[in-house]
Structure 1
Amino acid sequence: MNNMTLIAEEDIAQGGYDPVLDMYVELMANCLTDMIYGGERPIIRRGQKVKFDAGKRAAGRDWPVVGHSMAGLKRLANCAYLTDRVLMDNIPGDIIETGVWKGGASAMMRGVLKARGITDRKVYLADSFEGLPPPNEEEFPADSGSRFHTRGRLRVGTDMVRKTFEAYNLMDDQVEFIVGWFKDTLHKLEVEQFALVRLDGDMYESTIQAIEALYPKLSTGGFLIVDDYGGIEACRTAIHDYRDEHGITDPIHKIDHTGVWWRKS
């Protein structure tokens, strides 16, 4: 399976394709999703054995018990591919993910930087590291009825995320944690430019707060990735509200059933 070609073959044809990096990305994606064991590892949820479904895991439609990402193979490959495009095209700025769970997608992006020998860019991991906030239904009615704040498995602390990076020998001073609710942290972030911004906040509130704070800092030619666009209506609404307000017409490219990206013109 060649993960890089799952993204956009016409773009890869423009240059920068590296078969060695491709092998690294494929191995990382299979490890991050815990597909490397091919279903041999027991899956236990709520005390019950759950049958491993390779199709669901590859598509990012289940939650790995011991894996480091629930994004699936295509979205992880997209993280790698767009990180590499940033480098090939010399787009200035750092990389940030807002909403990181166990850190798998961010680790993939840091891995590409390391594989390419890049030492002057950082990967920022922004998260409460306490799960998602209760819905503020008065200010953000699109989040009415949201139950994400009740899902304990979304509460992953910095220690566990740090262990993810350590497992792949990627924990160093090019990785920085931004701890707190997005409304309290992102607009205060003292970073001049980003080359790649990945949003994975699930809710309207988390998505709109992240894009409002970070999109103005996204370099021309940089990339914006949205993990939950296809799967969560509130997230999709936030994206289109922002695009409409700011007159953004850059084409949106589909990754899989839920992930999308566009390039800032």
Structure 2
Amino acid sequence: MRNNTATEMYLELLKKAILFEIWLEHEPGATKENRLQGLDWPIIAHSMIGRIRMNNLHMLMNDVINNNVQGDFIETGVWRGGACIFMRGFLKAHGVRNRKVLVADSFEGLPKPDPSYPIDATSKFHEQDFLRVSLPEVVSNFQKYDLYDDGVVFLKGWFKDTLPTAPTEKIAIARLDGDMYSSTMDALTNLYPKVAVGGYVIIDDYSIGYCAAAVHDFRAAHNITDPLVVIDLTGVYWKKTK
């Protein structure tokens, strides 16, 4: 793994660009604190996860590479693609060629509540046009950073349809950003068995009740006791130890 000043400077600049931090004063309604915590829905930036969660992703990718934890990186629910763009930039900057970045999204926004998951009945996320980002737009965003190549695999469709056959045998980083109970449960059910020991599960929207309920139900059903670690006001993660 490369760990030189130039590599770290590139990755820091990449984060600043994805989060639009360099030009924050030109983004309507943006504040430094909200962008730090990922509390705003950016008009321009390519990610809404904020600096703290982006730094957390960077830290966990460093850990799996340094400790040779095998597997690909995946995000479920990518919006404009910023976190996945950073994943791809990280792998390229470190010369890692044997891992893919899987980009899973409907590219049509969030699903309507599924009667099979009554807890989601009050969800209005499917009405939010702002959350609908098309596949061509996300591809274009990758291209803007010169990071669209054969190391990026797009999985278009609802998680329940795409994740059971996701083209990966092992996962080192699973970053779940599905907001709802159904989306979170579909991702955990289909991906967690592939997460390598020593790999990480990141839950972006743990502060949302639907999402947290799915996390707790899944962990209880599978006797997962690995501690949940708080990232910021919204996100948590855990390391798979067995």
TM-score (norm 1): 0.87
The structural deviation recorded for 1:163 is 1.5
| Partner of residue 180 from structure 1, selected from 147, 157, 165 | 157
How far apart, CA to CA, are the structure 2 residues paired with 1:260 and 1:23?
26
2:202 is the alignment partner of 1:216 = no
Match of 1:37 in 2: 23
8 Å contact kept, 1:25–1:77? no
Q: Counterpart amino acid of 2:62?
A: D
Q: Counterpart amino acid of 1:167?
A: K
Deviation by residue 1:219-240 (Cα, 9 ceiling, x = unmatched): 11111111001x2011011001
8 Å contact kept, 2:64–2:199? yes
Match of 1:126 in 2: 104
8 Å contact kept, 1:182–1:206? yes
What SS class does the counterpart of residue 172 from structure 1 fall into?
coil
Deviation by residue 1:183-236 (Cα, 9 ceiling, x = unmatched): 11101223211111110000000000000000000011111111001x201101
The structural deviation recorded for 1:129 is 0.4
Change (3 A) 1:32 1:168: same
Matches within 5 A, 1:193-208: 193-208=170-185
How far apart, CA to CA, are the structure 2 residues paired with 1:177 and 1:162?
9
Deviation by residue 1:140-185 (Cα, 9 ceiling, x = unmatched): 1211210000000111011111111111111100001000001111
Q: Counterpart amino acid of 2:173?
A: L
8 Å contact kept, 1:26–1:77? no
How far apart, CA to CA, are the structure 1 residues paired with 2:233 and 2:11?
21
How far apart, CA to CA, are the structure 1 residues paired with 2:108 and 2:81?
14
2:51 is the alignment partner of 1:73 = yes
Match of 2:221 in 1: 245
8 Å contact kept, 2:30–2:42? no
Unaligned runs of 5+ in 2: none
Match of 2:134 in 1: 157
Q: Counterpart amino acid of 1:251?
A: P
The structural deviation recorded for 1:23 is 2.9
**Percent identity between the aligned chains?**
47
How far apart, CA to CA, are the structure 2 residues paired with 1:215 and 1:26?
30
Higher relative contact order by CA 8 Å / sep ≥ 6: 1 or 2? Answer: 2
What SS class does the counterpart of residue 142 from structure 2 fall into?
helix
Matches within 5 A, 1:100-111: 100-111=78-89
8 Å contact kept, 1:94–1:193? yes
8 Å contact kept, 1:128–1:179? yes
Match of 1:258 in 2: 234
Cα RMSD after superposing both structures: 1.6
Give the paired residue count: 241
Unaligned runs of 5+ in 1: 1-15, 44-50
How far apart, CA to CA, are the structure 1 residues paired with 2:34 and 2:6?
27
Q: Counterpart amino acid of 1:174?
A: G
TM-score (norm 2): 0.95
How far apart, CA to CA, are the structure 2 residues paired with 1:170 and 1:153?
24
2:104 is the alignment partner of 1:89 = no
